[in-house]
């Protein structure tokens, strides 16, 4: 696939990773914005085991917030490394794209495109760089 080796496709993939980082940040903000609503909803129910729901809600929000922050950081690093033509960035981007394959339907299409482009650029870098002795 010669088209995938063009530099514009590498830049597009870099932008895609930046956009994914932005959307992860927005998703985390939205989850934390609805947290007070969920807590109030649980408190209004007056359940006997209310503390269990509050604990699970607090733990779940902390865990989801950590995951969202992790995705923001990882996708931002990948976008930077891919934009700067780093061989490690190509491999890192391929790994993140494999995880994103499960985001149906758009994530699958974007991830497949990213894997094709980053794989082509990774092979191109191997052909250019001299072997280590």
Mean pLDDT confidence for 79-87: 93
Domain presence at residue 116:
yes
pTM, two decimals, is 0.80
Q: Cα–Cα–Cα angle for 2, 83, 4, nearest 5°?
A: 10
Residue 132 pLDDT > 60 = no
Q: For residue 133, tell me if it sits in a domain.
A: no
Mean pLDDT computed over every residue of the chain: 86
Q: How many domains in the chain?
A: 1
Residue 2 DSSP symbol: G
Collapsed DSSP state (helix, strand, coil) of residue 58: helix
| 132, part of any domain | no
Work out the average pLDDT over 107-133: 81
Residue 119 within any structural domain of the chain: yes
Output the six-digit token pair for 28: 């985390």
Q: 17 lies in which domain range?
A: 2-126
* C-alpha radius of gyration, the chain, whole number: 20
CB 20 within 8 A of CB 82: no
Each residue's pLDDT tens digit, 53-75: 778 888 888 888 889 899 999 99
């Amino acid at each position: 696939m010669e088209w995938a080796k063009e530099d514009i496709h590498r830049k597009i993939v870099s932008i895609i990773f930046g956009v994914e980082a932005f959307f992860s940040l927005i998703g985390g903000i939205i989850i934390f914005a609805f947290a007070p609503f969920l807590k109030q909803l649980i408190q209004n129910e007056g359940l006997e085991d209310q503390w269990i729901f509050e604990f699970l809600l607090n733990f779940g929000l902390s865990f989801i917030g950590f995951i969202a922050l992790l995705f923001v950081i990882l996708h931002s690093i990948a976008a930077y490394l891919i934009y700067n033509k780093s061989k490690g960035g190509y491999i890192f981007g391929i790994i993140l794209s494999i995880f994103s394959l499960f985001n149906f339907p758009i994530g699958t299409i974007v991830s497949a495109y990213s894997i094709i482009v980053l794989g082509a650029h990774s092979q191109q870098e191997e052909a250019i760089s001299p072997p280590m002795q």
